[in-house]
Structure 1
Amino acid sequence: MAVFGVDYSWGRPGVAALKRAGVKFACRYLSHDTTGKNLTRAEADALSDAGIWVVVVWQNTKDGPLGGRSAGEADARDAARQAVACGMPDGRPIYFAADWDASPGQQDAINAYLDGAASVLGRDRVGLYAGHGPMKRAFDAGKMAYGWQTYAWSGGRWDSRAQLRQYLNEQTINGAAVDYNRAVADDYGQWRVGVSPEGDDMPGYVSVGTGTEQRLAPGQWTDVSWETEYSDQEHQHWDQGGPSVLTGSARYSLTVGATVTGVPAGTLIQARVVEVEIEDTSKYEAGPIQDVLSTGDSTSVVYGLAADTVREGHRVRFQLVQHGTADAAVTGGSAKVFFWR
């Protein structure tokens, strides 16, 4: 399941409101601003005390990376100084914002800027905030280790290497303007004052997908298989091209989105997870069922499980059943799993 977070500048929602909203991390600014935009040590302390992770981004001007290498060096020195003053522990990354629709012709300057930042921080501590084009080009060129992609200027495309996604702007929490974000990797640059994430704070992560049409017979629970692995560092999706996404024992949370076609409008579609025995997959324990009514030719099914535990010797799978009278199909989808041993 993706981790929900926000970013904000001059507004201050307050930690109590952020907690009520389910916020797990806050992306905050570093810059030369003196009017209240920047993260302060007091705010970092308050967020950390509330259990909310902090992520920092340098943005003095929207097009600062056009300044090239020398600008990257100068900005990285100032950003590091401010971040340390706010309590950021050693080794944590800093994002640098390219906050405009950067053209391919501007990429050389952006890459040089990131080279300058890397000369100060080290390449493994450099991140970029940008739309899809500059994000992809910088990742392809090996210019940074972290990506924070905004949906703006992205045309619905996401680079799977970016650890953070800004997916909705101009929202409000407790009267303060915020943007909504999701973390789609276990390490997305987060920290608390004096604390780097480790152990139970760094869950394992599996992200898989499918674009292959799969038959969905009426009235029959059917495993959804995943042929594409976007992320699986701990090799949980053992049967690549198959249905299992996690091997027990582990605590986990899961979210799945799938597209079902060929089910008449108003027909019931149901989704669930099952924990099957490795030695005999005909034996299983079923999780909670979530119901969706078909909307016609193409229905989006979204399934979420906030917390569960899979026992040793079992694997987690996702299943669908449609209650129509004829065959239907799963034509695409993705599954994301966070887990803790």
Structure 2
Amino acid sequence: MAVFGIDYAWGRPGPAALKRAGAKFVCRYLSHDRTGKNLTRAEAEELSRAGIWLVVVWETTASRALSGRAGGVADAREAQRQASAVGMPAGRPIYFAVDFDAGPSHQAAINAYLDGAAGVLGRFRVGLYGGYGPVKRALDAGRAAWAWQTYAWSGGRWDRRAQLQQYSNEHRLNGVSVDYNRAVADDYGQWRVGDAPPREEDRPGYVSVGLAAEQELPPGVWTTVTWDREYADGDDQHPAGGPDVLSGPARYALTAAVRVRGLPEGTRLRARAVEAEAAAPDRFDAGPVRDFTAAGEETNLLYGLAADVVGKDRRVRLQVFQHGPAPARITGGGARLLFWKG
């Protein structure tokens, strides 16, 4: 679910007005400005006490990112100094603004600027603010780890990798000009003075899938369950309509339930998780096998793995085997999985 936030430069709406508007975070500026644009330590502490998260962006002039590597180095050094002074915890990202309609011909200079910033901060802390084009090109080239995309110069397109979206400008809040934003990732670079969200490696991803269409379950063979309904998959681990629940490498915990119909009472069934090679799914490593006995016309199987690891270029799937005399049917079910990357 998207989280609503606000960005502003000059003027201060104040925590009470921000909270009345429903803002959970604010995006604030770092720069060379001396006329009141920048985030201050007092403001950061006031917002933090009110429970409002902060995100910072460096912007001097709209096209400053065309200054190349040297500009990126200089700006990142000053941005880091200012961010530390206002209380930003170590390791949090800084976004750098490309606040104009940057075309493909500008990208080499922008990438060099981001390279310069990465040389100071580390690539994992470099973010980019801009329209669809520069955001997409920078992410494609691996020049930024974070992206804050504006609707301006974007032609209605959104890059799904961007953690932040600025979707509407020029609103008024408590007499201050503000823009509306939404965070579409759990971690979008937010922090409070003395506080940061859990590290990404400590926060599990989540996949929840289910079955809408029935699937034949022939006797005497392992059948891979196909999940054709997707409830949650913010990290794109499950190709829509396919059998894969998770792409490695990752640690994971899996719980799956399958409903089977059409087996005589007492028929033996088995279930297992497999980790199949992405390029050759018929080659796989099988996990623990759980045994079940059909209860009659309808049987529910519950399979779980409390902790396991799937390797690189492998996919987690669920398989079911039935020992009956004739084909049965998988008529429903679901799988839920928590996973940790890195």
Q: Tell me if TM exceeds 0.5.
A: yes
Contact residue 55 and residue 190 of structure 2 kept, 8 A: yes
Corresponding residue for residue 35 of structure 1 = 35
AA at the equivalent of 1:46: E
Corresponding residue for residue 269 of structure 1 = none
Q: Distance in 2 between matches of 1:161 and 1:39?
A: 27
Corresponding residue for residue 162 of structure 1 = 162
Which of residues 222, 232, 235 in structure 2 aligns to 1:231?
Answer: 235
Q: TM-score, structure 1 length as denominator? A: 0.63
Q: Distance in 2 between matches of 1:142 and 1:199?
A: 21
Task: Say which SS state the counterpart of residue 111 (structure 1) adopts.
Answer: helix
Q: TM-score, structure 2 length as denominator? A: 0.63
Task: Say which SS state the counterpart of residue 231 (structure 1) adopts.
Answer: coil
Corresponding residue for residue 148 of structure 2 = 148
Identity between Structure 1 and Structure 2 (%): 64
Query: Structure 1 residues 51 and 281, CA, compared in 2 at 3 Å: closer, same or farther?
Result: farther
CA RMSD across the alignment: 3.5
Corresponding residue for residue 55 of structure 2 = 55
AA at the equivalent of 2:93: P
Asked if 1:67 is matched to 2:67, the reply is: yes
- What is the deviation of 1:204? 5.7
Contact residue 169 and residue 178 of structure 2 kept, 8 A: yes
Q: Distance in 1 between matches of 2:111 and 2:77?
A: 17
Contact residue 164 and residue 184 of structure 1 kept, 8 A: yes
Contact residue 146 and residue 188 of structure 2 kept, 8 A: yes
Corresponding residue for residue 241 of structure 2 = 241
Corresponding residue for residue 135 of structure 2 = 135
Corresponding residue for residue 5 of structure 1 = 5
AA at the equivalent of 2:137: R
Corresponding residue for residue 189 of structure 1 = 189
Aligned length: 241
- What is the deviation of 1:174? 1.6
Q: Distance in 1 between matches of 2:127 and 2:199?
A: 23
Q: Which runs of 5+ in 2 are unaligned?
A: 214-226, 246-255, 262-301, 304-337
Q: Distance in 2 between matches of 1:81 and 1:281?
A: 62
Query: Displaced runs of 4+ in structure 1, greater than 4 A?
Result: 202-208, 226-230, 279-282
Q: Distance in 1 between matches of 2:91 and 2:50?
A: 22
AA at the equivalent of 2:113: Y
Asked if 1:80 is matched to 2:84, the reply is: no
Q: Which runs of 5+ in 1 are unaligned?
A: 209-213, 216-222, 246-276, 283-311, 314-338
Contact residue 172 and residue 178 of structure 1 kept, 8 A: yes
Structure 1 residues 158-307: aligned runs within 5 Å: 158-198=158-198, 225-226=229-230, 231-232=235-236, 240-241=240-241, 278-280=257-259
- What is the deviation of 1:81? 0.3
Query: Structure 1 residues 280 and 49, CA, compared in 2 at 3 Å: closer, same or farther?
Result: farther
- What is the deviation of 1:203? 6.7
Contact residue 89 and residue 193 of structure 2 kept, 8 A: yes
Corresponding residue for residue 295 of structure 2 = none
